[in-house]
């Protein structure tokens, strides 16, 4: 008899969870038919591109998303991830309005990914710019000599051990590395010129690694307007033709009845419960 009651209680509990999950799904679908603005955050060093690219692609496909605000608060990062995000922002801007909102810092790679947006908005004190490339190679030769540490190198190419920490860089190797840096720097300059629709030579004059405040960046043509995140969202809504206060959505966890069974309260449920390297980098 007790076993039977237990089975009934467990069955009722599972049915309740399934109904709750179905209710949340329907509620989310109901919300999704409204006109919304998506908020994507890029924070900290840019070391990978996939998560940002996936978000961009998802919001571009979502018909309820009328504009995307890209909140950038990054000092830069790896060359390739910055280039990949740049390409995706550029493609997304062909379909929907992409407004960049710069936080405390959006420099180097942080500026790189901002350049192709439909509009770039910075705070007056934002640190941005730093259009340049840097490669730092540690040289521990002096220390290793004192410690009596030596490196035995067997190589099949003359420059295969280039940039080894066990020795310095020779003149020939320095020319090779400098050539790589110059080429990547030219790519950065061209990307900014294309994204901002500025003459290459105009960008080159300010692409010496210097940083700008938000106000200075606007005067230099690197930024379109001055304002905070709330202002950027209002501009995005206006550009997208949304009347009134826009609904802003951002990346969130998916809710499942399995999470509830494990004793977890997913973030999407909380919404409805009021109480409840590469060594060279685009860096400043």
Q: Which residues are catalytic?
A: 108, 160
Dihedral through CA 86, CA 213, CA 232, CA 230, nearest 10? 130
What 3-state class would DSSP assign to 38?
strand
* Cβ burial, residue 226 (10 Å; 0-12/13-18/19+): middle
Cα 86 from Cα 49, distance rounded (Å): 10
**Interatomic CA distance for residues 72 and 75, integer angstroms:** 9
CA angle at residue 85 from 239 to 65, to 5 degrees? 35
162 three-state secondary structure: coil
CA distances from 252 to 50, 176, 249, 259 (A): 16, 46, 9, 14
Q: Identify the three-state secondary structure at position 69.
A: strand
Cα–Cα–Cα angle for 183, 277, 180, rounded to 5 degrees: 15
């Amino acid at each position: 008899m007790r076993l039977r009651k237990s089975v009934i209680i467990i069955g009722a509990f599972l049915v309740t969870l399934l109904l709750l999950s179905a209710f949340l799904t329907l509620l989310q679908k109901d919300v999704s038919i409204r006109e919304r603005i998506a908020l994507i955050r890029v924070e900290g060093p840019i070391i990978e591109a996939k998560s940002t690219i996936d978000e961009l692609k998802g919001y571009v496909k979502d018909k309820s998303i009328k504009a995307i605000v890209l909140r950038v608060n990054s000092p830069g990062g790896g060359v390739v991830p910055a280039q990949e995000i740049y390409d995706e922002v550029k493609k997304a801007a062909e379909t929907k309005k992409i407004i960049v909102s710069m936080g405390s810092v959006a420099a180097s790679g942080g500026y790189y990914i901002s350049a192709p947006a439909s509009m770039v908005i910075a705070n007056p004190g934002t640190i941005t710019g730093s259009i340049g490339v840097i490669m730092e190679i540690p040289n521990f030769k002096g220390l290793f000599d004192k410690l009596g540490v030596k490196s035995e190198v067997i190589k099949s190419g003359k420059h295969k051990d280039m940039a080894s920490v066990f020795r310095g860089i020779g003149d020939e190797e320095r020319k090779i590395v400098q050539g790589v840096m110059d080429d990547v720097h030219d790519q950065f300059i061209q990307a900014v010129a294309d994204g901002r629709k500025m003459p290459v030579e105009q960008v080159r004059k300010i692409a010496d690694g210097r940083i700008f405040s938000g106000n200075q960046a606007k005067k230099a043509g690197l930024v379109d307007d001055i304002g905070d995140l709330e202002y950027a969202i209002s501009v995005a809504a206006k550009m997208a033709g949304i009347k009134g206060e826009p609904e802003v959505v951002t990346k969130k966890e998916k809710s499942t009845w399995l999470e509830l069974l494990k004793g977890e309260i997913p973030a999407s449920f909380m919404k409805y419960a009021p109480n409840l390297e590469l060594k060279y980098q685009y860096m400043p």
